[in-house]
Structure 1
């Protein structure tokens, strides 16, 4: 398959030689009421495959002959047909269609219109994507969709934590199902890659559809509890055009964690005893080194994208794309590179009764991973020591040492970064082949077949210099690993649509098959005789589904959707293998009723109610837990039989009763439109997840492990979503629009096994400490802390806490629950302003009510941490606020729990477009912008947006200045 794809991509470079014709027509499409140019208008020769789309300024070019019917269509506007009479220029004005109710929305196994949608579905097209330094595609949605939160670290090419309505599970996956052109992709990545979306080029994406409630997602059954994101990539066009986009970015970290400078540290050592003893000043050096400045750097990154589209052999609408991304990381040595090739072929045959869509993509991802553990080392390394030491036996880098031996303590973080080469390469080929046939003898019936393929092969190399700082006889590391994941899918369904008077019906039924494989291995450290190679081959995961859907519309006002899916998974035993996932939804288009249809105020009003059940079976790493499995013992569990050494077999944990985690969702929604200018929705929903998949303890002797995956507990999430989209100003030379969305969420654990608390949220500092808890009646991962006592001056008293249960003993029974890491309110705001050829856009996000535990301070801001075994270490300057001595006495204090609510401006961009530059160059847009513009928060740490609510040295997010140019030919 790879050979075929490569051949097609190579051949397509010569595609423009076939894209020519006669009778060239040019023109501009504008809006009738304002004369504003309309970009993206479809211009098609009726009953042919010849077509194009207008550019940013509403201009188009197409080839036709006299007598052809040219069809102009655009979302939200009434289509227009023109009989071509031979003119060279044809300018068109389209009339706006009230409330844009005919907009097409992609849903599971098909599409619908906004007017006919009964579930909670939101569609975002390329015109509305979030702009800025977008390296991975999910960030195109950041802040754009109510109920969707996206958290991305500062690491180059980093994957993101995506949550739709807060997820639905506690211990199992909370990631949404992501579908690319009909292919559901695996949420598990490979070693050497940054994540499942890191290999996808955002420039190739045409639209997202976010399916949120169960009535919309139940068609995907077993994997839809956390919502569904459907990605549609760009397709080919009949008329030739080309684009080239270039972007450069310059990043800088604008904040640091406060630690003592070299001079301040020398003063601290001279004046501050630790545990009653003076510190050894002879260990101090004479330098003044800011180790954070040494391990972080300013970055330069670039992105380049080329796309060409046109009609191959005058018959096959085609699109070819090539993109490169090179992103430097702020942490020394970290870097992300990606190269993408994409091919889309979209021919039609037999008077468009047969449509074929081929999407083929190749991605090459190259990473060098910087050791993020050195961020912590930089905070603590002695600031009075230099970076380099010519006399050092450890590669010329300064290291704490006793003669020629390394002293026991933290090593030089710059050396640790530069002396390690940790590479990962991931090569991915993915795509789909889709056939859609509308039967000649039954035009109301069509058959759809979709074949999907996704394969990623990765290689990892972890090499450390033999001059690395160590006293071990084995100097450094040299290991090599490989991994291969494949994902093959087959979907087939029949769709029947017919009108019976005032009743419109659509019936669909189908079958789905998907198989996942995963295998690989590692050499181990080839410098260490005690290290051995290892291999693995996970049991294959097979998913089978039977599904159906019925849509019934009466008078285009009363809508009913019924969905059913029956899924089977190889992850569960035969008795629990199959799950049933039904859903139903009703909708009423009130604005079509006689008493509202002529209203000048309410242009659209629809009520929706839906209920459905979806599933969860993502128990990664335990694909065969229901089987009796055995693993080989190591050299410590062998026995001798005669002269032979026999390897033992050890039984693994087993749970044959494991079954589906299920989520039932009920929703009430209102879609509204006002004055033909304002649109939006208001949704109320409740999700209840039962039989939660959870790794929990079992009694000693009852299984072959002290904890196994079980079905325990129930989680409830209640929420309200609100969104509004409007054009504040819409004139010929000036357009101002904005999108605002708000989500309110409440999470509560309704039930846990035996009603017992489960401690979670491991933290640095001490041994085995946890700062979060799961408890019935509370939000998941609520913080469990001691209530700090203060003296009469308002200063915290070290190790002094409130005896909450009154037993005169301070222990874990006195810990109380205070807040949780999840935001109560999530807000998004985006605006686009266009004045003549000038455009300005910006994006804001806010979280309210989320708390973060400052583990940087709780594990480091104590005077005893100055002693780093046999050397000295720096500590955060926040110690001056508490003067705490011992970490173990204070680490669970609520003094480290902070309100992490924030308001962020993610990006702002300003551009100017030069039109009609030459006969071949239609336009040039020059633009600049800033990413990560500002953050307003009361949180004292580096960044309030932390994963899981525990701030333990995140990879910082740089502020980035952007410059780019877009060329259209």
Structure 2
């Protein structure tokens, strides 16, 4: 009886427990407690399990849970909320903001800080801003979003943009910033898919960048990739497909207009010359070589994990055609990241990114060929052969279509960027971290020129195969010890670290004639004529050792101090001059936290900060301190019938060589108004480069070519940056934000070792002209030439001028020294390629499930040297603007010359200098989040579709394809037919499962 009774009790208990733990479906909505706005992507987890869900675009969620369980709601910037289910099937939650977590956190290099505690100038761009642009390179997405950062894009598929932070601080060294991806140093970000990035921080001033010492003179770009988080697994897809179209295509003359111009030129040069017929068919060479190109990019990621292990894996594919026929770039990226919480105090992890690219290349001068090719040359002759300039009285020009068809070059490469770390917390506030980074890359290209005869200037009697393979290998080992402690009103963080790095690279290049092309697999150097084989190889190695430390101190949460010291050594410098100290200090005062500010209603936040720092630039020309020897055969001598090779020094280098040093002062203020809906940040900086590597021309009697290079110059960049952001929620259905940034920079050479010395560069292939100069008092790489004082209208004006060899229709140059002779002494600064102003306007709007983003970007007070117009050997084509405005006789114009663009008309002058200012709609995107009902039916968490237009409109006056012209500091802004940007129109999808 007792046994039956116990059995009955157990059955009843089991039934009760089963009933009590029955599973039900719970749904509801999560909103902001203050505004009622839905919280998108809030996490909902059944307490004590990993079962959970995320809210959709309307804040709704649905999940299965025990009827007597508890739901925990989490959202960044809000207090975690736990709610018992109590057998309810509908639970709506209003979450309250958490002031402690709302503070923006920025990466500062070997650590993170709340934005309010930062004493330097750091800009941060988060992932949501990056993915809202359909860019193939993350750096392109930054254009117009960060004050003080100038980005120049190229339209070539796979190309990396040029980025300069607060101006050019070196003449012969690199001006590229240091890129750091998850603690590993890299040369660029072309291997990264923007969807993999969590945030990008740009360390602009010396105080914030000094922790990187010798590498940070040009600023630092810190990239943090996304990491897995504990919870239910999440799968994301981000992808778009679209087309790229040519914008601002330069109008060139047609056959009739071209013939008119050439005939005018011939009449001036020789009145009896044979003229070109004006009724020939016309070819638009730009239309012939350009196309509407396609682009598509896809990325899939999966993330999740538990409290012990978290992971994120992603794979991406990009296929981008260039706007030139035959140009194509393909990229595959793969990423795997895992963190292991081994114990309460020990954490280890790794992050690996693999990248593979393949590219079908085009001739590097194809835009130049299309610009100069006469329109009277047909693409094909009636007999099917390529149109040959030899059949027309115009000169030796390449047929651009023949160049594209004949050119056979492919490139490919792989890169592995990886980082592994271990972290141990011990005692009270101590953390030790060690990390090992690797950056390994291989790049190859193969060029095959077949034996062929396409035109009179495009032929080869023998085939030529050229192959090159280069390899780079970098490892970086860093160790840091951090102490983080709060003592009452004192917050203290101390960081100590060491860094060791080795960079190695090598290449092998070979060429040989007479390799027969049967297939791609048959192209080997050993299949050609061995007597024609040419082999070249080389390599380089650099090592770095560093010790660094940083102290962050805060008192009463209002008085802030950051002090940094780094001790660096680099093998780029002579053995006795390899070590240097790089200190910095930053001070901040959060005025709004003072007692006397508590009763005022103007400032929600007011912080004043000042910093000073010293940085180095190790990116100088390799082995510059070694004496280069020229073994030219012309230096050989024969004595008694015996040949004795000769040699001469090409350059002279001082016995000592020092670091390029950058010292910078930054003064800043940060303000918040109207409940921080309006935030304003302003910075003034003075950035000085001291002991810059510079070249001086040696005295002629020394018998030396080239230059003497050493620490001979000082430069300065001084400027102002202003950032203002406004964001507001007008209702639960409508919110918007508007951001404006503006920067002004003035670049100047402040001293050169030798009085009145200057560095000339910017060579053009006609006459050996050098169109840029770097000298004291002017910006680096300023344009240098004659001032045009009008056009000679008749012979009488010529006879009374300082240019007796001119003819009517030629430029009249200004005789600046008044000596009656136009010579080098009359040249002056005629333009500045360093941008004076950059600005951006970034807006975002949300109405219910729709969102709209509009970004505008621009540059002002900058010049371009139109080398396209300036490079003329004979009968090159003319642009339509020149045709419409040229001099055709007395009184016709006093600005444009005649069609005789030869002789001194090609001397560097301000006629070829044009404004590079522009305003561009950088990005326009309209998105829509599908309703939760549709998303749930598709068994998804969120689904957003969008249409996007990138670079659809650019307003500028420059007579060229694009006003974005990059280049080295001493030769920047010279347009020799750059690869222009195109307008891209996309349709994209963001989906979460």
Alignment TM-score, normalising by the size of structure 1? 0.88
Give, in whole Å, the separation in 1 of the partners of 2:216 and 2:954: 34
Q: Of the candidates 428, 434, 437, which is equivalent to residue 443 of structure 1?
A: 428
C-alpha displacement at 1:153, in angstroms?
1.2
Partner of 1:918: 936
Matched, 1:261 2:261: no
C-alpha displacement at 1:341, in angstroms?
0.7
1:558-573 counterparts in 2 under 5 A? Answer: 558-573=559-574
Do 1:257 and 1:942's aligned partners in 2 also have CA atoms closer than 8 Å?
Answer: yes
Do 2:318 and 2:332's aligned partners in 1 also have CA atoms closer than 8 Å?
Answer: yes
1:874–1:780 distance in 2 versus 1, CA, 3 Å: closer
Matched, 1:327 2:314: no
Do 2:308 and 2:340's aligned partners in 1 also have CA atoms closer than 8 Å?
Answer: yes
Partner of 1:13: none
Give, in whole Å, the separation in 2 of the partners of 1:964 and 1:63: 32
Give, in whole Å, the separation in 2 of the partners of 1:321 and 1:127: 17
Q: Of the candidates 199, 206, 215, which is equivalent to residue 214 of structure 1?
A: 206
Matched, 1:725 2:749: no
Do 1:457 and 1:484's aligned partners in 2 also have CA atoms closer than 8 Å?
Answer: yes
Do 1:152 and 1:161's aligned partners in 2 also have CA atoms closer than 8 Å?
Answer: yes
Give, in whole Å, the separation in 2 of the partners of 1:48 and 1:723: 45
Give, in whole Å, the separation in 1 of the partners of 2:238 and 2:304: 18
Larger Rg: 2
Give, in whole Å, the separation in 2 of the partners of 1:949 and 1:135: 24
Residue 955 of structure 1 aligns to a residue in which SS? coil
Give, in whole Å, the separation in 2 of the partners of 1:40 and 1:643: 87
C-alpha displacement at 1:245, in angstroms?
2.2
C-alpha displacement at 1:842, in angstroms?
1.1
Partner of 1:344: 337
Give, in whole Å, the separation in 2 of the partners of 1:153 and 1:913: 33
C-alpha displacement at 1:743, in angstroms?
0.5
Structure 1 unpaired stretches of 5+: 1-21, 188-195
1:407–1:279 distance in 2 versus 1, CA, 3 Å: closer
C-alpha displacement at 1:638, in angstroms?
8.6
Q: Of the candidates 376, 382, 397, which is equivalent to residue 384 of structure 1?
A: 376
Partner of 1:298: 292
C-alpha displacement at 1:956, in angstroms?
2.0
C-alpha displacement at 1:767, in angstroms?
2.0
Partner of 2:891: none
Do 1:335 and 1:369's aligned partners in 2 also have CA atoms closer than 8 Å?
Answer: yes
Do 1:858 and 1:887's aligned partners in 2 also have CA atoms closer than 8 Å?
Answer: no
1:703–1:644 distance in 2 versus 1, CA, 3 Å: closer
Shifted more, 540-549 versus 954-963: the winner is 954-963
Partner of 1:756: 756
Partner of 1:11: none
C-alpha displacement at 1:149, in angstroms?
1.5
1:922–1:279 distance in 2 versus 1, CA, 3 Å: farther
Partner of 2:692: 692
Do 1:99 and 1:673's aligned partners in 2 also have CA atoms closer than 8 Å?
Answer: no
1:269–1:93 distance in 2 versus 1, CA, 3 Å: same
1:288-687 counterparts in 2 under 5 A? Answer: 288-311=282-305, 315-351=308-344, 353-389=345-381, 391=383, 396-401=385-390, 409-439=396-426, 442-469=427-454, 470=457, 474-527=461-514, 532-620=533-621, 622=622, 624-627=623-626, 655-676=654-675, 677-687=677-687
Structure 2 unpaired stretches of 5+: 1-22, 515-528, 798-807, 887-895, 967-971
Do 1:697 and 1:707's aligned partners in 2 also have CA atoms closer than 8 Å?
Answer: yes
1:742–1:491 distance in 2 versus 1, CA, 3 Å: same
Residue 721 of structure 1 aligns to a residue in which SS? strand
C-alpha displacement at 1:532, in angstroms?
4.0
Partner of 2:245: 252
Give, in whole Å, the separation in 2 of the partners of 1:466 and 1:287: 30
Shifted more, 812-821 versus 792-801: the winner is 792-801
C-alpha displacement at 1:671, in angstroms?
1.0
Give, in whole Å, the separation in 1 of the partners of 2:164 and 2:25: 48
Do 1:686 and 1:717's aligned partners in 2 also have CA atoms closer than 8 Å?
Answer: yes
Matched, 1:930 2:945: no
Give, in whole Å, the separation in 2 of the partners of 1:530 and 1:249: 49
Residue 414 of structure 1 aligns to a residue in which SS? helix
Give, in whole Å, the separation in 2 of the partners of 1:780 and 1:764: 18
C-alpha displacement at 1:25, in angstroms?
7.6
Residue 293 of structure 1 aligns to a residue in which SS? helix
Partner of 1:893: 909
Do 1:133 and 1:249's aligned partners in 2 also have CA atoms closer than 8 Å?
Answer: no
CA-based RMSD of the aligned residues comes to 3.4
1:854–1:183 distance in 2 versus 1, CA, 3 Å: same
Give, in whole Å, the separation in 1 of the partners of 2:646 and 2:247: 56
1:698–1:486 distance in 2 versus 1, CA, 3 Å: farther
Do 2:78 and 2:95's aligned partners in 1 also have CA atoms closer than 8 Å?
Answer: yes
C-alpha displacement at 1:741, in angstroms?
0.5
Partner of 1:957: 981
Give, in whole Å, the separation in 2 of the partners of 1:542 and 1:845: 40
Give, in whole Å, the separation in 2 of the partners of 1:487 and 1:954: 32
Residue 755 of structure 1 aligns to a residue in which SS? coil
Do 2:811 and 2:905's aligned partners in 1 also have CA atoms closer than 8 Å?
Answer: yes
Do 1:846 and 1:902's aligned partners in 2 also have CA atoms closer than 8 Å?
Answer: yes
Partner of 2:234: 241
Do 1:859 and 1:887's aligned partners in 2 also have CA atoms closer than 8 Å?
Answer: no
Partner of 1:153: 154
Give, in whole Å, the separation in 2 of the partners of 1:473 and 1:134: 40
1:402–1:311 distance in 2 versus 1, CA, 3 Å: same
Partner of 2:173: 172
Partner of 2:882: 878
Shifted more, 296-305 versus 273-282: the winner is 273-282
1:166–1:535 distance in 2 versus 1, CA, 3 Å: same
Give, in whole Å, the separation in 2 of the partners of 1:850 and 1:99: 44
Do 1:507 and 1:550's aligned partners in 2 also have CA atoms closer than 8 Å?
Answer: yes
Give, in whole Å, the separation in 1 of the partners of 2:130 and 2:429: 35
Shifted more, 223-232 versus 166-175: the winner is 166-175
Residue 595 of structure 1 aligns to a residue in which SS? helix
Matched, 1:855 2:855: no
Give, in whole Å, the separation in 1 of the partners of 2:260 and 2:598: 79
C-alpha displacement at 1:729, in angstroms?
4.2
C-alpha displacement at 1:646, in angstroms?
10
1:619–1:759 distance in 2 versus 1, CA, 3 Å: closer
Shifted more, 949-958 versus 512-521: the winner is 949-958
Residue 572 of structure 2 aligns to a residue in which SS? coil
C-alpha displacement at 1:467, in angstroms?
1.8
C-alpha displacement at 1:730, in angstroms?
3.8
Residue 369 of structure 2 aligns to a residue in which SS? helix
C-alpha displacement at 1:644, in angstroms?
12
Partner of 2:74: 72
Give, in whole Å, the separation in 1 of the partners of 2:252 and 2:100: 57
Partner of 2:108: 107
Give, in whole Å, the separation in 2 of the partners of 1:256 and 1:783: 26
Alignment TM-score, normalising by the size of structure 2? 0.86
C-alpha displacement at 1:57, in angstroms?
5.0
Give, in whole Å, the separation in 2 of the partners of 1:563 and 1:548: 6
Give, in whole Å, the separation in 1 of the partners of 2:42 and 2:391: 74
1:765–1:573 distance in 2 versus 1, CA, 3 Å: closer
Do 1:31 and 1:93's aligned partners in 2 also have CA atoms closer than 8 Å?
Answer: yes
C-alpha displacement at 1:408, in angstroms?
6.3
Residue 513 of structure 1 aligns to a residue in which SS? strand
Partner of 1:945: 964
Do 2:44 and 2:71's aligned partners in 1 also have CA atoms closer than 8 Å?
Answer: no
1:913–1:278 distance in 2 versus 1, CA, 3 Å: farther
1:963–1:769 distance in 2 versus 1, CA, 3 Å: same
Do 1:102 and 1:113's aligned partners in 2 also have CA atoms closer than 8 Å?
Answer: yes
C-alpha displacement at 1:473, in angstroms?
6.0
Deviations 1:65-95 (A, max 9, x none): 9888947241xx3432426667776654333
Give, in whole Å, the separation in 1 of the partners of 2:53 and 2:439: 30
Q: Of the candidates 828, 842, 846, which is equivalent to residue 840 of structure 2?
A: 828
1:853–1:745 distance in 2 versus 1, CA, 3 Å: same
Residue 945 of structure 1 aligns to a residue in which SS? coil
C-alpha displacement at 1:914, in angstroms?
0.5
Q: How many residues align?
A: 917
Partner of 1:18: none
